[in-house]
Structure 1
Amino acid sequence: AGYGARVMVAEEYRMGGTCVIRGCVPKKLFVMGSHVHQEIEDAAGFGWSIGEVSFDWATLVANKDKEIARLERAYTTNVEKSGATVAKARAVLEDAHTLRLATGEKVTAKYILIATGGAPNHGPVIPGIEHVISSNEAFHLKELPKRIVIQGGGYIALEFAGIFAGYGSDVTVVYRGENILRGFDEDVRKHVRAEMEKRGITILTGCTVTKVDKHGKDFTSHLSGGSSIASDQVMFAIGRHPAVANLGLETAGVAINPANGGIQVDGWSKTSVDNIYAVGDVTHRFNLTPVAIREGHAFADTVFGKRPVQVDHATIPTAVFSQPEIGTVGLTEEEARAQFSHVDIYKT
């Protein structure tokens, strides 16, 4: 819209996407709150005398909801102020230039940008999979679970493990690999695991949840090794899949990348159809908010700003709000050793 284009945004749920509504922002609020318990314990050493304390999960969730609602209003206002129209409806492709809104209205456009993001993926269907929650539901739990089993070893699993442990839950992490944080430096993986275990989080690697039984309000998670764990909640955070279903992609001729299940795009974020582009998690390239923003900006510059820009995905910084937190950029030691004959390692 800033380049003078006539723009419509079709959004079937809430404005702001994964990050604002059910991702980084509410997650960070939960993380910040979970640190307070530790700070209260540390306070005595600094001369503070703090009386009896209590924590109310419902208050945290309600205040988080207020902040998310405020942010959503801000995102909507920004889009409308730019001169774009917001359609609160799902849009489905009928051909390369035509979209049908859930309201029944048909819209035509010279260019179409798909940015539908992704959704939690529970993996293979197992008995009792209907009892398992994802990070989406974790933000809206009616009460704090006393015991929770979290399957996964990446960003989301470890962030929520730290969150629940900080609020006093008994947390067990189950991960199929030999160690958490696959793809990160070996030193970092070992350090984070050791620190999490020091905080009382149980980490079981080399196994998976094969079945979940429900008895009243309680659950039993059966593991591939033969053991089982009782809990009040079971959460899977084993990855996300691109939201490509029921968008009319096949009808319009938009190809899916067989390697990752996302929409196939070239270096300009162009799909197999000349006037249709895709950015962000729906392409399943680098599923990080700032990357999606950059890809969207490059699309606008290229197509409407007469300034062709390709996004360089080579060196992307990333942060994991585990406890302790991790920040990383560039090659891992393993990748560096694979590429170069000599590698210097510095530690402090």
Structure 2
Amino acid sequence: MRARGWGIAIALAVLASTGAAIGQTGTNAAPGSNPIIRDKFTADPAPLVVGDRLYLYVGHDEAQRDEMFNMREWLVYSTTDMKTWTDHGPIMRVTDFKWAKQDAWASQAIEKDGRFWFYAAVEHDDTHPGKAIAVAVSDSPTGPFVDAKGSALITNEMTPKGTHSWEDIDPTVFTDDDGTTWIAWGNRQAYIARLKPNMIELDGPITEITPPHFEEGPWLHKRGGLYYLTYASLDRSQHRDEKVSYSTAPSIRGPWTYRGELTGSGKYSFTIHPGIVEYKGNWYLFLHNAELTIGDQNGSIGRRAVTVEHLEYNADGTMKPVVQTDAGVSLPPSS
């Protein structure tokens, strides 16, 4: 997610033009339809498969009226059928990182050596101004998670060539076939680094890998012999809302080849955030939009809702464009 002056102005203009985002409660919606969580505003979805269960980590949007974002905690849900979701409640609050002062922004959890490691973007206190990436650990995918390091894994000072103080957000973590784990992140600039086996320190230099129109929200995954970097993209010369684009590479080290857009913008939302996973033989793309209404609260800049769609691939490994729908995975994939 992003927070900058021009973004706020654009988003407010969008809301004004759409009547503050006409949403849907969808209490009678078919199981598996979008949005998948309807009693809370959720954003920045990050799926994780553990055994026969899929866990989904999300931020909790609590913005009131015209607030931009008000995110204080991370939640986790799980499913075994992609249609019914179990709410496991909050797994952490941003205040659990004693060195952070606010902003429970995008996160991702990963399993490694029998433990669960949770990486998240927060606002650091004044000792290291700017956005930072935290790491927590648990023996269970549903927590409780605790600060694994006692300090930030990545601070704004570690990426001095960047253009702004909120570039160190939106971590994505990925373990390769050789057992090495990598973390990528960024806003406007995209970075990647290897993690040490202890999962709480970087193992080598930070490398910039910014693909075309990169804005934020990177997601790493692998299918066959191909590596994918999927992300929220923004062509400022043509658009005011983020879409999803992606690049591929023959190695986690690159070189990365731009493959174009995967989806359009999320309805009523100027942000979007991809999360990709294979589960029980099918591939899924998680996103968010601002279409949900809960009571008298319409979806908006800081009140978003997580969605999911089927994801399919072409024979050459490229991903087929995804159309965002209300039906979601209540309907089978097209092929």
TM range (shorter): under 0.3
- TM norm structure 1: 0.23
Larger Rg: 1
> Which protein is richer in strand relative to its size?
2
- TM norm structure 2: 0.24
